[in-house]
Chains A and B, each alone.
Chain A
Amino acid sequence: MARFPFSAIVGQDEMKQALLIAAVDPAIGGVMVFGDRGTGKSTAARALAGLLPPISAIQDCPYGCSKDDQARYPDVCGTGPLRKRPVPFVDLPLGATEDRVLGALDLERALRSGEKAFEPGLLAKAHRGFLYIDEINLLEDHLVDLLLDVAASGENVVEREGLSVRHPAKFVLIGSGNPEEGELRPQLLDRFGLSVEVRTPGDIESRVEIMRRCAAQEADSQLFADNWADEDAKVLRRVDRGRKRLASVTIPDAVLHKAAELCMAVGADGLRGELTLMRAAKALAALEGAKTVGQAHLVAVAPSALRHRLRRDVLDETGSTARIERALDEVFA
């Protein structure tokens, strides 16, 4: 069955924008999606991975290493020629064992030939792609620790069962969850560059349109995908152009000032708020083909870059999105 096209997702603009920004600049550090079940969270992430151009990786390398990786990790990947392969999209199930996530001793080879070999895990598979964790707030603590370490260092170090292996593991982390079902450790939340809130669409028109599109997709997924191919190609061109332009996009000092003012106004923890705000605004400008970052870009990304970094204020029970909107009004008055 052909995947659901990214451009055919109705509404959810903030989520789509955040995912595209992460695709343009993976260094932003992933997207956390809060919200209701069945709002297209995993569909959107999956669709984006399917839409992106294939990566070129060493043939048969279990880690999907690039040429640069090969130079840094000469022991783990082969010397084969470069081949195209689709952008990886890996689902991390909540019940995954550490062995499955990290990789472990290849028992079959150990028993058959007495050879100590490493069988790569999900982290290896996700290298240069997306690692998707549904209900991330229910993930067990020891898996959270392990993810935090790998996400921060960009490599997976395995020292167990007599194995000593180090391989690259850089991925865009996509988490989804419902904050009411359990809190996310602040350190994990902090790893996500952007966070978005998705809601079930509130108007009849959108809901009807969603039903229409889903019915069409279920009837003939290939035809549906073909019908949306042009729209998807447009999105792909934007991402491609964005990636090429990203390095040359400039940010005027005035915009940096506004970013800092905004972060102070909302009381964001630390400086990571500004840094993400700046990067995300830059990626958005690149996506839109602008040469410089304008205030509009800043305003557009502010809620997703800052929402999860607000200090809790016991006297102010207003939701974080509302607090950011208020601050935006003040700063850009």
Chain B
Amino acid sequence: MSRAEPAPPDPARDACLALSLFLTAPAQLGGLSLRGSGPAREALLEMLRDTGVAVRRMPAHVDDERLLGGVDLAVSLASGRTVRARGLLEEIAGGVLVVPLAERLDHAIAGRLAQALDSDARFGLVLLDDGIENEGPPAALLERIAFFHLRCDLGGGLFQAPRPGAHKGFNLLG
């Protein structure tokens, strides 16, 4: 990765800029959506983690009990009173929830996330969108986040003609 190389075409820098802006106020800005998997997106996620903000990954198979919280049966039965277990959305307060395969996200889960963003949200969303062609994250989420359609895949326009040296990775921060 040489610093002397000219800045790469803009999508990567846009994504970087959006990430920095998003991190100034994750909950207020709602989130960002990163389209296209690859080393560029991994680098962005690495940047995100390096900032020290709490980051949790929400698997697509999350259930309501873990997402929204519910009764902790084992503890409740043992203690003889209802004990509530916190859900992922509470646990991530002040942090960032990463949603992989956002283009495949179940609409019911998308609805719950949207509702959580509307009522005093205390987290930001990072949608990882691996869609191709018309696939994309649910509109209910896209309209609630500040930054979307950030291209960070290696193909489709980011590099039209690969230059020598492009293989070695590129300098995200330009």
Contacts and interface: CB of A to CB of B under 8 A. Distances in A.
Interface of A: 98, 102, 110, 114-116, 142, 145-146, 148-149, 152-153, 157-164, 166, 186-187, 253, 256-257, 259-260, 263-264, 269-272, 274-275, 278
Nearest to B135: A187
Nearest to B71: A162
A142 B130 CA distance: 15
Given A152-B100, A162-B73, A270-B155, A260 B37 contact: no
A278 B168 CA distance: 10
Contacts of B164: 253, 256-257, 260
Nearest to A149: B100
A264 B162 CA distance: 9
Interface of B: 37-38, 57-63, 65-67, 70, 72-74, 77-78, 85, 88, 100-101, 104, 130, 132, 153-156, 159, 161-162, 164, 166-167
Given A152-B100, A271-B159, A160 B63 contact: yes
A152 B98 CA distance: 14
A148 B130 contact: yes
A259 B164 CA distance: 10
Contact of A270 (B60, B72, B73, B153): B153
Contact of A271 (B59, B67, B70, B155): B155
A275 B42 CA distance: 15
B71 to A, nearest CB: 9
Given A256-B167, A274-B162, A274-B167, A146 B85 contact: no
B132 to A, nearest CB: 6
Contact of B100 (A116, A153, A158, A260): A153
A275 B167 contact: yes
A61 B37 CA distance: 31
A159 B101 contact: no
A260 B162 CA distance: 7
Contact of B65 (A148, A157, A161, A274): A161
Given A269-B155, A270-B156, A272-B38, A162 B167 contact: no
B58 A145 contact: no
Nearest 7 A/B pairs, CB to CB: A270-B155, A271-B154, A159-B66, A160-B63, A159-B62, A157-B59, A149-B100
